[in-house]
Amino acid sequence: MSTLHDLYATYGQSPWIDNLNRPSIRDGGLAGLVASGVRGVTSNPTIFEKAMTSSDAYDEQFSKLIESDTPEAAFWEMAIDDVKEACEILRSVHESSGGTDGFVSLEVSPALAGDTAATVKAARELHSRVVKPNLMVKIPATPAGVPAVKTMISEGRNINVTLIFSLSRYGEVIEAYLSGLEALRSAGGDVSTVHSVASFFVSRVDTEVDGRLQALGADVSLYGKAAVAQAKLAYELFQEKFSGPRWQALSDAGAHPQRPLWASTSTKNPDYPDLLYVDTLIGPDTVNTMPDATVAAFLDHGTTARTVDSGLEEAHSLLDALGGAGVDMQDVSSVLEQRGVSSFLDSWKALLGSLEAKAAAGGQTR
């Protein structure tokens, strides 16, 4: 049994991989990862931009699609085909877990991050086009995205809420999930069919906070600790919100908790341990989605132990100390949210530009 298997079997954490590309889907790479213990797949515009511009695996299909479709329409057709195939590879995991795992995530266009109605429409369309029980549509946790999450949950749809950077926004996401489930139940729907994860981005927090600490000339003992501390407090909030009378009423009706998902878990600072954002956040009812290199590192030398709810007092003290040093964590999260949306939008534009160029060249990558 691999360390990835141990994560799930012993500690209740589901390891997912943060990468989706056609070569891996079709050459057995993804199936091999599933055999090694990977239990789900996430994707985003940056991942698709890299996949579709660095490989000729999409050329044949793109050449046919572009005869009658726009480059953007062709992208969605190709992406949806990839997701459908990945869903089939993960189907056994989905079935054996009783529908809790084995999900493949596909994100709505990042151009819609500020438009609630358009996000709802796009999410519905993706669900209707993929038609797989283990699809999760990703919606960003922007001010416009959170209401869309509530609507989608109230319609009984599986949603991955992405780009969460703060405890306050995470609280809003949990509320959207709970109120969405309550609306679904009130309308006579079956809450037991709904699954959701809340993707809390981790490593980017340290990158931003460390930069601010350096600018402030703060004590170096505070470096590299904000991200894990905030994630631990997010798990504390998860435990608080998914307990008590309100949650019990939903749980009695068959509802599943919205699991925290640790995203952006590759280490950006080479001076930090390569598994800093994996080894420190292990615990039940959580997901960690890792890029390929981090999965490989964890299989090689990962440590399996329950860590996500240890050191909570220190985590609270650390955030207090950051505030005392002059770091405004609310501003940090606001900057990171804007940067995250912009980054995905840049990847989206680059992808469409590349596909337009490819169409002009007859549909070939090179």
Residue 321: in which H helix or E strand, if any? Answer: helix 312-324
- What is the helix (H) or strand (E) element at residue 105, kind and residue range? strand 103-107
Q: Which residues lie below 8 Å from residue 316, measured CB to CB, with a gap of 6+?
A: 229, 233
Report d(CA 192, CA 122) in Å as an integer: 24
Surface-to-core class of residue 202, CB atoms within 10 Å of its CB (0-12 exposed, 13-18 middle, 19+ buried): buried
- How deeply is 45 buried, as exposed, middle or buried, from its count of CB atoms within 10 A (0-12, 13-18, 19+)? buried
Instruction: State how far the Cα of 84 lies from the Cα of 32, in Å rounded to an integer.
Output: 18
Closest CA to 210 of 195, 225, 197: 225
- Given 132, 138, 150, 232, the catalytic residue: 138
Q: Count how many residues are written for the chain.
A: 366
Cα distance between residue 282 and residue 263, in whole Å: 13
Phi/psi-derived region of residue 307, left when phi > 0, alpha when psi is between -120 and 50, beta in every other case: alpha
Beta-strand pair 13-17/259-263: unpaired
Quick check: is 138 catalytic? yes
In angstroms and rounded to an integer, the radius of gyration of the C-alpha atoms of the chain is 20
How far is residue 112's CA from residue 126's CA, in Å, rounded to a whole number?
A: 14
Percent helix / strand / coil, the chain, rounded to 5: 60, 10, 30
Active site residues: 138
